[in-house]
Structure 1
Amino acid sequence: MPTLPLHVRHQQQGARFSPVHEWELPADYGDPQSEYRAVREKVGAADLSHQRPFLITGRDRVPFLQNLISNDLNKLEQGKGLYATLLTAKGRVLSDFYLYLLADALFMDVEWTNAQKTVDQLMRFKLRSQIKIESPPWGRLLVSGPQARPLLEALFGSLPIDQEKSFFQTESDGITLRCIKQSITGGEDYHLYVPLEGLEKIWERLFSAGGVFGLTPFGQSTLETLRIEAGKPRYGIDIDEHIIPIEAGLEAEAISYTKGCYPGQEVMARIQTYGHVNKQLMGLTIEGTELPKKDDKIFQGEKELGWITGATRSPLTGQVIAMGYVRPQIATPGTAVEVEIAQARKAAQVSALPFHRPG
């Protein structure tokens, strides 16, 4: 089972590991509640080096992708990024990803469990286009929380980025790194992409400087709780090839209605005109302490009207919270429903997403 390049370092910091797909990753560092509080109140760092970034190069890279993705790449400025989906002809989501415009390439951040399938799908359309997609040997460190920016400025100087989906490149002790501001926890998140040979040095520098800021390492279990509180859908969990972007609440961020044709565009335009989808991703708060599993059913009376995609015990609400798809007739915050957990019905209430709202 593959491990992270800094596996030994994480062991030394008290990590407890668990299998996540084919990887062995830090689940936590002994105290998930303290990890959670650090990210929400101070600053935390997570090693996400199992997530492979991709560089897309070649003279046709922009027009090639512009013809395939749901957002308008032609409007993107250098140093900025956008979120987009790759759809089937019927408007279902094959992949979702972030694209960042470099001077000589596009940088793609895609859900790691769906990465190779995404690359394969894109290359199916290559034909005579001059493009190349490769994964550079970089690690990825997430620095998250209200003290994330002060910590990074103590290390690298003033950060020349303020907006979400913006980035810059800098050098630290001879190590080139790229810093992207993009929230996955609902708070202030910075992703440091670092060549593998410099990864340990940057991790050490973070923790050498991070003591005064309250820096704490955090693992996958805390990251998942933060993600669900933030209402951030994730491919393979909340999104797959059966979901239309609008059903998952991706419309505002991922869909352009003015860019012209791409696979699935007619479906998006039809929904915009007639305003109807069969289901909607919503939050739920559930009574009791038992967590529902993925695909557990949501009922109102005897009618099955949805299913759970993911759940966690939320320190924010003090309750079990979940994300799930529900039919339009119950997609209103405050609607009383039941969730079937281990063959027993638990009272629940439909909630708006996100649960966590910064500020």
Structure 2
Amino acid sequence: MSKPDIFVYEHPSSGLVVVSGKDATTFLQSLVSQDLDSIVDGGGGRTLLLTPQGKLGYALSALKVGEKWWLYVDGEYGPALVDALTRYRIRVEVVLEDWSSNFAALELWGDGASELATRALQISVAERPFSHSRWGDQSLVVRVPQGAVGEAPERPTVFVIGPQAEVALAGEKIISAGANQATSEQFEYARIEAGIPLFGVDFDERTIAQEAFLERDGVSFTKGCFLGQELVCRIDSRGHVNRFIRRLVINGDSTPEKGSEVAFEGKLVGEVTSVAKSPDHEHSVALAMIRREVEPPTEVAVGISEIEATVLT
């Protein structure tokens, strides 16, 4: 019997910062874009730490674990996130700890991923987004609706975040239960095809939240003041951004390089931020930051070879 199309992938790097102390929630509530006051133990949400100018500092998953907050970020940004938060820790009882070096994260996706994780780990994977269950001594199993750009549907995903040894054991159990162990190439293709941008890869500190569609579930426009609020709220109420992260599909053998220019009717309109070849090598997919006047679906030319590509919604 063939395996189901469920894949598991352990991230080579990830950041985890734990915020504790009696002022932990009020401290974070004054800084991040999500309304944390409404989140109870066992819950969580997507949130942003913006710069004072309103550009992106970090894109985070904030998980309430007892009286602590676990802040998960893609990539090796744990130490930098601690430094950023420390600048605002003034006259509050808050402890900031970088657990990144001892912790790991794996990701499970595909139809039936939650059911497979439930069976493999002998726990109930919550249906509510960002809800999490304890597993092992210190690990969390989290249902994360991966935020997608444009009109791409969100991809339900299960994360296991915890000490490296526990996450490795969880991976073994999940694979034994029938999941396929994904290569980095398979992970990149699946991520890009689903329209899931990564911080530090597809967007960075020059990005405004709306350019990456991060405001849809990462910003509360009713919570009150937070760092960098003015720009994001002004755009939401009476403005617009001039570019968006978009998905591209490129048919044929040619695959553009990351950083390739995107042109429309002879005019430069964007740049490729991520690209991956399909498993059957019949096409490629990419993410690119594209000018807003290029409305999907639109044919564009990519790179110096002017590879034909289609901008998707």
The question of a shared fold, defined as TM-score above 0.5 by the shorter chain, is answered with yes
After TM superposition, list the pairs within 5 Å mapping 1:46-125 onto structure 2.
46-48=9-11, 50-125=13-88
Instruction: Confirm whether residue 246 of structure 1 aligns to residue 210 of structure 2.
Output: yes
Q: 1:42 to 1:348 in 2, by over 3 A?
A: closer
After TM superposition, list the pairs within 5 Å mapping 1:1-359 onto structure 2.
41-48=4-11, 50-136=13-99, 137-159=102-124, 161-171=126-136, 175-184=137-146, 187-208=155-176, 210=177, 213=178, 215-315=179-279, 318-330=282-294, 332-340=295-303, 343-352=304-313
Give the equivalent residue in structure 2 for 1:9: none
Amino acid aligned to 1:146 = D
TM-score (norm 2): 0.88
Q: 1:131 to 1:308 in 2, by over 3 A?
A: same
Task: Tell me the CA shift for residue 63 of structure 1.
Answer: 1.0
**In structure 2, distance between residues paired with 1:206 and 1:47:** 12
Task: Tell me the CA shift for residue 179 of structure 1.
Answer: 0.8
**In structure 1, distance between residues paired with 2:205 and 2:162:** 32
Task: Tell me the CA shift for residue 176 of structure 1.
Answer: 4.7
CA deviation vs aligned residue, 1:229-268 (integer Å, no higher than 9, x gap):
1111111111111110001111111111111222221111
Assess if the C-alpha contact under 8 Å between 1:113 and 1:236 holds in 2.
Answer: no
Assess if the C-alpha contact under 8 Å between 2:44 and 2:62 holds in 1.
Answer: yes
Q: How many residues of Structure 1 are paired with residues of Structure 2 in the alignment?
A: 304
Assess if the C-alpha contact under 8 Å between 1:68 and 1:263 holds in 2.
Answer: yes
**In structure 2, distance between residues paired with 1:148 and 1:276:** 37
Structure 1 portions without partners, runs of 5+? 1-36, 353-359
**In structure 2, distance between residues paired with 1:49 and 1:345:** 33
Q: 1:68 to 1:325 in 2, by over 3 A?
A: same
Structure with bigger gyration radius: 1
Q: 1:160 to 1:180 in 2, by over 3 A?
A: closer
Assess if the C-alpha contact under 8 Å between 2:253 and 2:281 holds in 1.
Answer: no
Structure 2 portions without partners, runs of 5+? 148-153
Greater percentage in helix: 1
**In structure 2, distance between residues paired with 1:316 and 1:73:** 44
TM-score (norm 1): 0.77
Segment drifting more, 76-85 vs 243-252: 76-85
Percent identity, aligned pairs only?
26
| Structure 1 vs Structure 2 CA RMSD | 2.4
**In structure 2, distance between residues paired with 1:217 and 1:223:** 10
